[in-house]
Amino acid sequence: MLFAGLRVCSRVTQSLSCSARQQATLRTRFLATMAPATQAVNTSERLQALRKLMSKPDYNVAAVVVPSEDQHYSEYPATCDERRAFISGFTGSAGCAIITPTDAFLFTDGRYFLQAEKQLDRNWTLMKQGLPDVPTWQEFLWKKLPKCTRIGVDPTIVTASDADTIQKNLEPLESQLVSLKHNLVDLVWTNRPPRPTNGIYPLDLKYAGESHVQKITRLREEMRKKEMHAVVVNMLDEVAWLFNLRGSDIDYNPVFFAYAVLTPEKAHLFLNPAQIDDTLREHLGGHVDIHPYDSFFSYLRELGAEIGLHKKSRALVGDKASLAIVEAMGADNVVVARSPVADFKAVKNETEVEGFRQSHIRDGVALVRYFAWLEEQLNNGVELNECQVADQLEHYRAELDFFRGLSFPTISATGPNGAIIHYQPEPNDCAIVRRDQIYLCDSGAQFLDGTTDVTRTWHFGTATPEERRAFTRVLQGHIAIDAAVFPNGTTGYVIDSFARRPLWEDGLDFRHGTGHGVGHFLNVHEGPHGIGVRIAYNSTPLKSGMTVSDEPGYYADGRFGIRIENVIIVREAKTPNNFGEKGYLKFEHVTMCPIQKSLVDASLLSPKEGSWLDSYHAEVLEKLSPLLHADQRALAWLQRECSPL
């Protein structure tokens, strides 16, 4: 799935764990406090209560910033952390609210202008970021607010680096970013959903491939190399990876609310004790000290004081760490830098790689059953909407071994909806899937042994020459990444152009990255690497063992969307030479699902590209057909779709 936050809950809950169902219930309760996506909620009372607090001597601020993020900078926040949605009424995934005694501003980007216009009531001014002369919310603070303004933030949900930039720009104006003792939105949020407390469970070594003790040892070695006294881990997927634990506090991401701190002597894990049991304590063993989640900041204050007092080497905090973390430790006692845990986690071990292979083969079975079913339904004239068909896919997935829910909400889009890059069908308001339109399906699942993410684009009737040409260009871009060989040290920024070259030839392009990292039974989007035009991707060379998606696309506004996505894994390549003694790398694709041949204009393909497609299909057929004997419709469909060009 394209990298950008999206969140709603799954419609198919019977296959999910008890905790996920509980989470879905919480969300339903939360949504009841909100208006539907097309209607404004009355925010007058909330704002009045908030403004009253702002003026109290305890806080005394003339502006309050309410960002979308939670305290772990999660891509998908839990409902209890959707403060910006609560205060503004706007439920889109990206946005920031700024409230002053007289005004309220909601900043969001082009994807959400329409939705925000519908959801904001008259208390709010919509700030359309990206349009000329519209400041970002950060710029607004120093460009539009009066001098000497005290601007309140909850320091636990603003990153230290963001706060630093803002503070520097406020200084000439004698304005000030004020860290508030309490989150003022929480104080006015009656019926705020509780923080999820779902069970946490260990991930067996047979799936993780490396024990948490080994991971902690490796991280300590890294600490020594970097001369760091401690590492503070604030990202939920990093904590889950480090201790080989999983949970279900956040939709689609098998994580749980926790912080961790590693020192040379101890590993400290901060979580809600109600979420763990003796099995889990046993799993962690004597190597890990468990503390209550709420004691994290007081522990940091002690650790910071200790570092300061004994002039120890400093603590490393990740670059997504909150201002509150840096303030608790004392800025002089920390180094804000790339998280070494993120770097470790990105490189999958051989057990994880094999898990990726196996989970993707299983996932392929569900995909093939689904597309075969869908084709038959459409051929038979059955009327089904985008949500109904997506639910069928989820049903097939739910039957698979080790299935633990979806990895993100399925993008199931027919015709023009496929051109809306982050389209999300609404059960009560979505299109009927049509046989004479292109259908784009981007979906994925969580398995104990891996996370999947796959996009296929189908035309179940007869495609136009334009659609076939565009599909072929996208396919050529996909193949160009899949077949690339490159030396160690090469980044995803540098090879991104391979995916675009065939599209560029026709004057086509796509406005998203080519690929994102994929977690191992963790978040479907993970860094720090990726393939794309974001310059940050140029800081992380691709390494053997990294997973990444390969998903070029093309979108004709108002008409159709095309995307072809596999998950691929960086592997060592055997090249006839090894110039520069750097070692060369290649990709292995693990996604197993046919790519529609009848959408390919074979005259555009080079002989090599044609062979690639045939050999991919031969591989898919070989791996999936033994698993499809119980579904003869799917098997026949697979055999037809995997025949040579």
Instruction: Check binding of 485 to its own copies (CB under 8 A).
Output: yes
Dmax (CA) of the chain: 76
Structure tokens at 631: 């579904």
Q: Determine the interface stretch with its own copies among 44-52, 199-207, 306-314, 498-506 (rule: CB under 8 A).
A: 498-506
DSSP string, 25-93: HHHHHHHHTS--TTS----HHHHHHHHHHHHSTTT--SEEEEES--TT--SS--GGG-HHHHHH----S
Rounded to a whole number of angstroms, the minimum distance from the CB of residue 29 to its own copies is 43
Residue 510 · residue 544 · CB < 8 Å: no
Among 14, 577, 603, 629, binds its own copies (CB under 8 A): 577
- Closest Cα to residue 471, out of 615, 638, 601? 601
Rounded to a whole number of angstroms, the minimum distance from the CB of residue 602 to its own copies is 13
Q: Determine the interface stretch with its own copies among 204-212, 273-281, 444-452, 604-612 (rule: CB under 8 A).
A: 604-612
Among 186, 204, 426, 506, binds its own copies (CB under 8 A): 506
Rounded to a whole number of angstroms, the minimum distance from the CB of residue 31 to its own copies is 36
Among 231, 328, 374, 495, binds its own copies (CB under 8 A): 495
Instruction: Check binding of 505 to its own copies (CB under 8 A).
Output: yes
Q: Determine the interface stretch with its own copies among 163-171, 388-396, 432-440, 508-516 (rule: CB under 8 A).
A: 508-516
The radius of gyration of the chain from alpha carbons, rounded to an integer in Å, stands at: 25
Q: Determine the interface stretch with its own copies among 73-81, 430-438, 453-461, 501-509 (rule: CB under 8 A).
A: 501-509
Q: Which is nearer to its own copies, 87 or 481 (CB)?
A: 481
Rounded to a whole number of angstroms, the minimum distance from the CB of residue 411 to its own copies is 21
First to last CA, the chain: 27
Q: Is 610 exposed, middle or buried (0-12, 13-18, 19+ CB in 10 A)?
A: middle
Q: Is 364 exposed, middle or buried (0-12, 13-18, 19+ CB in 10 A)?
A: buried
Rounded to a whole number of angstroms, the minimum distance from the CB of residue 608 to its own copies is 7
Instruction: Check binding of 573 to its own copies (CB under 8 A).
Output: yes
Among 487, 528, 545, 610, binds its own copies (CB under 8 A): 487
Structure tokens at 48: 């009045």
Q: Determine the interface stretch with its own copies among 27-35, 290-298, 478-486, 520-528 (rule: CB under 8 A).
A: 478-486
Q: Which is nearer to its own copies, 447 or 486 (CB)?
A: 486
Beta strands in 363-408 (DSSP E): 403-406
Q: Which is nearer to its own copies, 375 or 614 (CB)?
A: 614
- Closest Cα to residue 484, out of 545, 573, 614, 360? 573
- Tokens 């772990």 label which residue? 72
Among 154, 237, 482, 496, binds its own copies (CB under 8 A): 496
- Closest Cα to residue 209, out of 517, 458, 545? 545
Q: How far is residue 31's CA from residue 531's CA, in Å, rounded to a whole number?
A: 36
Size of the residue set binding its own copies (CB under 8 A): 36
DSSP string, 338-355: --HHHHHHHB--HHHHHH
Among 279, 606, 632, 639, binds its own copies (CB under 8 A): 606
| Residue 298: other Cβ atoms inside 10 A | 12
- Tokens 């970097």 label which residue? 226
Q: Which is nearer to its own copies, 205 or 483 (CB)?
A: 483
Q: Determine the interface stretch with its own copies among 242-250, 358-366, 479-487, 616-624 (rule: CB under 8 A).
A: 479-487
Instruction: Check binding of 537 to its own copies (CB under 8 A).
Output: no
Instruction: Check binding of 486 to its own copies (CB under 8 A).
Output: yes
Instruction: Check binding of 607 to its own copies (CB under 8 A).
Output: yes
Q: Which is nearer to its own copies, 215 or 473 (CB)?
A: 473
Q: Determine the interface stretch with its own copies among 262-270, 420-428, 578-586, 615-623 (rule: CB under 8 A).
A: 578-586
Q: Determine the interface stretch with its own copies among 5-13, 48-56, 173-181, 606-614 (rule: CB under 8 A).
A: 606-614
Query: 587: Cβ–Cβ under 8 A, 6 or more apart, which residues?
Result: 481, 482, 483, 484, 548, 550, 568, 569, 570, 571
Among 245, 484, 613, 635, binds its own copies (CB under 8 A): 484
DSSP three-state, residue 96? strand
Instruction: Check binding of 298 to its own copies (CB under 8 A).
Output: no
**Site for its own copies, residues 511 to 530, rule: CB under 8 A:** 511
Exposure string of 560-574, with b = 16+ CB inside 10 Å and e = fewer, is bbbbbbbbbbbeebe
Rounded to a whole number of angstroms, the minimum distance from the CB of residue 494 to its own copies is 5
Structure tokens at 107: 């900043």
Among 48, 217, 575, 639, binds its own copies (CB under 8 A): 575
Among 136, 351, 497, 625, binds its own copies (CB under 8 A): 497
**Strands 454-459 and 438-443, bridge-based pairing:** antiparallel
SS3 string, 235-272, reads: CHHHHHHHHCEECCCECCECCCCEEEEECCCCEEEEEC
Among 140, 498, 537, 612, binds its own copies (CB under 8 A): 498
Q: How far is residue 513's CA from residue 501's CA, in Å, rounded to a whole number?
A: 14
Among 285, 335, 504, 639, binds its own copies (CB under 8 A): 504
Q: Which is nearer to its own copies, 172 or 607 (CB)?
A: 607
Residue 539 · residue 491 · CB < 8 Å: yes
Binding-site ranges for its own copies (CB under 8 A) = 484-487, 490, 494-498, 500-501, 503-509, 511, 533, 535, 538, 554, 573, 575-580, 582, 584, 606-608
